[in-house]
């Protein structure tokens, strides 16, 4: 398979792409970052120089239309996803878009339809499902380690969405901007839960904004908060189990991530050390016990689950690299294991069901 030429939109130093996509691609064979784009030529050239990328643009059109770019990565704020993704799809490129796909269900529906019309291969940045520990847990469940799954409980902290933020991050406290505690940390975690235990068949939810104002540390400004910082979701899963998920803004002095899967034969427990409850980037610890065990013990993830990605690649880049590695295998084998826009649309519909349930106090059924 030929080397895949990658162009990254939103590659400014210190941004998400520089923390995850660029080091992930550097660690893998078969990919080459050939272009970056930011809103200013100077920052684009600085990013290109920092990462040894040959092409730098101050607009998305030049990057998308360049013949050396096969795969376009959209790693900017959610409100800009729709126009950038649409341009890349129209150019016939493979598109990797960060999650969420759009600011609303309507935008997700539109982009998914555009991708289908273009017959484009797409990737959505729900990388937790590609984490080695999550894939190992899924296999353990399928192999019967816990027996029949009875239920699952997940509690996490989103780190952000506390009493203070910066002007650059204030948009995450505005529900209309699409990057809230529900859509980002909670849904990254829920997606991993669905990957392991099946999709929700029905859901009920309660959303709360416990902190109605946020202080901007860099300007002193106080802004109203419209996004939820307390998220409680419960429902039934495809495997017949009951699920309960609770995510909060900021962090707890106790556990910031704890996930149990309980079955008729045993239990699996995933935890994260420190204040990081963002499952998609957290360093997770797996423990388990069954049958005559009276507790849980460490369960190291076998080397085989790391595949082409070195264990030494840590932090946000690791699971992103696992996603790229799976994409490369899909392209080589003609398979479709990596989640794309169709999957993103299903999760946007779940968000809509959660928000509708919270607003109306009803149980929502999902197909």
Number of CB atoms found within 10 A of residue 5's CB:
19
Per-residue pLDDT, 96: 98
Q: Max Cα separation, the chain? A: 63
Place of tokens 């069954």: 290
Torsions phi, psi for 187 (to 5 deg): -75, -30
The Cα–Cα gap between 293 and 295 comes to: 6
* Interacting residues of 367 by C-beta distance below 8 A, sequence separation 6+: none
Q: What is the pLDDT along the chain (367 residues), one digit of tens a residue?
A: 689 999 999 998 889 999 999 999 999 999 999 999 999 999 999 999 999 999 999 999 999 999 999 999 999 999 999 999 999 999 999 999 999 999 999 999 999 999 999 999 999 999 999 999 999 999 999 999 999 999 999 999 999 999 999 999 999 999 999 999 999 999 999 999 999 999 999 999 999 999 999 999 999 999 999 999 999 999 999 878 999 999 999 999 999 999 999 999 999 999 998 888 999 999 999 999 999 999 999 999 999 999 999 999 999 999 999 999 999 999 999 999 999 999 999 999 999 999 999 999 999 999 8
pTM: 0.97
Q: Cβ(36)–Cβ(53) under 8 Å?
A: yes
For the domain made up of 132-301+347-360, give the CATH fold.
Dihydrodipicolinate Reductase; domain 2 (3.30.360)
Q: What is the CATH number of domain 4-128+320-339?
A: 3.40.50.720
pLDDT at 1: 64
Which residues make up the CATH 3.40.50.720 domain(s) of the chain?
Answer: 4-128+320-339
pLDDT score recorded for residue 211? 97
* CATH 3.30.360.10 domain span(s) along the chain: 132-301+347-360
- Residue 240 is predicted with a pLDDT of 85
Sheet holding 4-9, edge to edge: 55-57, 31-37, 4-9, 71-74, 94-98, 122-125
pLDDT at 13: 85
Q: Who contacts 299 (Cβ-Cβ below 8 Å, separation ≥6)?
A: 136, 268, 286, 287, 288
Q: Quick one: tokens of 91?
A: 């150019």
Copy the structure tokens of residue 285: 């610890």
Cis amide leading into 100 (omega within 30): yes
Alpha-carbon dihedral 175, 178, 179, 182, rounded to 10 degrees:
70
pLDDT of residue 300: 98
Per-residue model confidence (pLDDT) at position 367? 83
Q: Quick one: pLDDT at residue 273? A: 86
3-class SS string, the chain: CCCEEEEEECCCCCCHHHHCHHHHHHCCCCEEEEEEECCCHHHHHHHHHHHCCCEEECCHHHHHHCCCCCEEEECCCHHHHHHHHHHHHHCCCEEEEECCCCCCHHHHHHHHHHHHHHCCCEEEECHHHHCHHHHHHHHHHHCCCCCCEEEEEEEEECCCCCCEECHHHHHHHCHHHCCCCHHHHHHHHHHHHHHHHCCEEEEEEEEECCCCEEEECCCCCEEECCCCCEEEEEEEECCCCEEEEEEECCCCCCCCEEEEEEECCEEEEEEECCCCCCCCCCCEEEEEEECCCCCCEECCCCHHHHCCCCCCCCCHHHHHHHHHHHHHHHHHHCCCCCCCHHHHHHHHHHHHHHHHHHHHCCCEECC
């Amino acid at each position: 398979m030929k080397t895949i030429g990658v162009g990254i939109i939103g590659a400014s130093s210190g941004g998400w792409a520089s923390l995850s996509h660029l080091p992930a691609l550097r660690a893998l064979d078969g990919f080459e970052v050939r272009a970056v784009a930011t809103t200013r030529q100077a920052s684009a050239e600085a990013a290109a120089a920092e990462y040894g990328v040959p092409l730098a643009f101050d607009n998305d059109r030049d990057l998308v239309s360049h013949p050396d770019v096969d795969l376009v990565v959209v790693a900017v704020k959610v409100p800009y996803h729709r126009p950038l993704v649409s341009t890349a799809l129209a150019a016939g490129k493979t598109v990797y878009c960060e999650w969420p796909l759009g600011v609303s269900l309507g935008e997700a529906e539109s982009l998914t339809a555009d991708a289908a019309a273009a017959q484009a291969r797409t990737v959505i940045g729900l990388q937790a499902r590609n984490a080695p520990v999550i894939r190992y847990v899924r296999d353990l469940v399928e192999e019967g380690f816990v027996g029949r799954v009875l239920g699952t409980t997940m509690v996490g902290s989103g780190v952000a969405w506390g009493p203070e933020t910066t002007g650059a991050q204030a948009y995450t406290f505005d529900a209309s901007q699409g990057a809230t505690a529900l859509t980002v940390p909670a849904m990254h975690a829920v997606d991993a839960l669905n990957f392991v235990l099946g999709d929700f068949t029905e859901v009920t939810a309660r959303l709360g904004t416990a902190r109605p104002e946020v202080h901007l540390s860099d300007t002193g400004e106080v802004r109203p908060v419209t996004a939820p910082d307390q998220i409680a979701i419960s429902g039934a899963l495809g495997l017949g189990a009951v699920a309960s998920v609770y995510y909060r803004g900021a962090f707890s002095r106790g556990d910031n991530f704890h996930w149990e899967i309980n079955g008729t034969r045993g239990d699996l427990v995933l935890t994260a050390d420190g204040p990081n409850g963002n499952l998609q980037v957290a360093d997770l610890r797996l423990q388990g016990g069954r049958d005559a065990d009276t507790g849980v013990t460490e369960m190291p993830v076998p080397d085989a689950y790391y595949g082409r990605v070195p264990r030494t690649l840590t932090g946000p880049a690791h699971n992103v690299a696992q996603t790229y590695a799976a994409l490369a295998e899909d392209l080589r084998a003609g398979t479709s294991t990596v989640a794309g826009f169709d999957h993103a649309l299903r999760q946007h519909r779940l968000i809509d069901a959660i928000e509708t349930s919270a607003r109306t106090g009803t149980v929502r059924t999902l197909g």
